[in-house]
Structure 1
Amino acid sequence: MCILSIFIQTNGDFILTQNRDESIYRPTSPNVETREFFGRKITGPVDLNSGGTWIYYTDKYTVCVLNGGYENHSHRPPYRMSRGLVILELLKFASMDEFISEINLDGIEPFTMLMIDLKSNQKQILVWDGKQKFVENLNDEKLIVRSSSTLYNASEKLFHKEKFEELEFINYEEIYKIHQKLAMPKNEKYPIVQSTSITQIIYSGKVTNLKFCPIQI
């Protein structure tokens, strides 16, 4: 849930790739599943701890979430709902704007949520800092790179962004290679946290394909 990149073409097609940096003890399904929430079918990996997910697509939306908002924060459980369930709440609403306006986030840990409406081509990021919602409209962006504030400082975030900006030939394989190189290994600073999977969603010609690759721990 911690590094994402999205390359967007002028016709609305895109390649979204996300590294999930998580506790090595948090259980995750080994495969992608199609499930139903609030009358809509979603496709994505499953967090077995909460029953939610960190990235999914439907016939209308592509959605993913990162831990944390703009700044690092202290983890202070218990929280009212997992962020992996919060991103499914979008499916209750008629639009992303309505979701942003109406969703109650009190008692939810900070997060950054990317939403793409495949019908209207609207793209937004919702940032919740634990007290306030912030909305970024991304409709004119061609490259978006975000890294979790809970794990990466400002210089590391800039390094990630520069790696994607240096990419000469934009295709899903080259993008995936960068995400592999940026994958977080076990380290002294975060001894039980590392990149546990890479997920890539390719939207082309109104067809969505998802590739989910668990990383051997």
Structure 2
Amino acid sequence: MCTVTFLPTSNTNFIFTSNRDETPLRKTLPPKVYHENGVAIRYPKDELAGGTWIGTSEKNRIVCVLNGGYQSHERQPPYKLSRGVIVKNVLSAIDVLAYIKSFDFTNIEPFTLLVLEWNTINLNFMQFVWTGKNLDIKELPNKPQIWSSSNLYNPKMKKERENWFNEWLEKTHELTQEKVLAFHSNENLGTKATSIKMKRPFIETVSITSIQKGQDKVTMDYVDFLKTKKS
């Protein structure tokens, strides 16, 4: 939910990976297929709120959310809806843009929402940022990118992480999911509080979800660091 990378391997194929930086006390269920609004979607479930931070849909769609918009914010609960529930709604929506433009985000905590959709010849990548007051919509290029949650990483930390990402890219000649997972598991960059796999007194990287789209299939790898296993 808090560190995301996108790595295209062709015009329509890619590896999309998200680290969840969260309190280890918050329980999560491993990915499985659920049916929401008649649509099959696969996601790891936040047991507390019933939502998710990342998932795939039979509509050839990936949706992922990060905490916060462009900058850190003070939480002002209660909020009318969990951002993780919004992820599920977008995964099953008939038309993503129409759904988001018609939704009233008033009293929803700020977020950054990434949405990938594809067919046999095209990849459509969109970013939606809700600041708490305004909704910004942006089309993203099909190139390597990294995001870090504004509520955990200040601009200096974000830049440092971008540099690590770019340095790793320069050294990595053939992108594989194994190499991407290794990068997302690195806890020795910078400090423990800022490394890609991070750890602070009350929050840490608890899991990695990595989605790979190949020519014929889409796979989801899930690494649960609290249970130290991959599914």
Q: Output the TM-score relative to the length of structure 1.
A: 0.92
CA drift of 1:133 comes to 0.4
Q: Work out whether 1:145 is the aligned partner of 2:150.
A: no
SS at match of 1:122: strand
Q: Work out whether 1:131 is the aligned partner of 2:141.
A: no
Verify the 8 A CA contact 2:20 2:206 in the aligned structure 1.
yes
Select 2:210's aligned residue among 200, 205, 212. Answer: 200
Partners of 1:13 and 1:141 in 2: CA distance: 10
Q: Unmatched 5+ residue regions in structure 2?
A: 187-195
C-alpha RMSD of the superposition: 1.5
Verify the 8 A CA contact 1:164 1:175 in the aligned structure 2.
no
Aligned structure 1 segments of 4 or more residues deviating by more than 6 angstroms: none
Partners of 1:7 and 1:156 in 2: CA distance: 21
Partners of 1:108 and 1:208 in 2: CA distance: 31
1:20-31 pair list within 5 angstroms: 20-29=20-29, 31=30
1:75-86 pair list within 5 angstroms: 75-86=75-86
1:121-200 pair list within 5 angstroms: 121-138=123-140, 140-166=141-167, 167=169, 168-169=172-173, 170-181=175-186, 182-185=196-199, 187=200, 191-200=201-210
Partners of 2:46 and 2:93 in 1: CA distance: 23
Q: Work out whether 1:100 is the aligned partner of 2:88.
A: no
User: Partner letter of residue 184 of structure 1?
Assistant: M
Verify the 8 A CA contact 1:35 1:43 in the aligned structure 2.
yes
User: Residue by residue, what CA displacement relative to the aligned partner does 1:162-201 show, whole Å, maximum 9, x if unpaired?
Assistant: 222222222212211111111111x3xxx21111101100
Partners of 2:34 and 2:52 in 1: CA distance: 11
Partners of 2:46 and 2:134 in 1: CA distance: 26
Partners of 1:206 and 1:104 in 2: CA distance: 37
User: Partner letter of residue 158 of structure 1?
Assistant: K
CA drift of 1:206 comes to 4.1
User: Residue by residue, what CA displacement relative to the aligned partner does 1:45-84 show, whole Å, maximum 9, x if unpaired?
Assistant: 1100011111100122111111110000001111001110
SS at match of 1:90: helix
Give the structure 1 partner of residue 47 of structure 2.
48
Partners of 1:142 and 1:216 in 2: CA distance: 32
| Percent identity for Structure 1 against Structure 2 | 33
Partners of 1:94 and 1:34 in 2: CA distance: 18
Partners of 1:39 and 1:133 in 2: CA distance: 28
User: Partner letter of residue 197 of structure 1?
Assistant: S
CA drift of 1:91 comes to 4.2
Partners of 2:147 and 2:109 in 1: CA distance: 18
Select 1:216's aligned residue among 194, 203, 226. Answer: 226
Partners of 1:164 and 1:96 in 2: CA distance: 29
Q: Output the TM-score relative to the length of structure 2.
A: 0.87
Count of residue pairs brought into register by the alignment = 211
SS at match of 1:32: strand
Verify the 8 A CA contact 2:57 2:91 in the aligned structure 1.
no
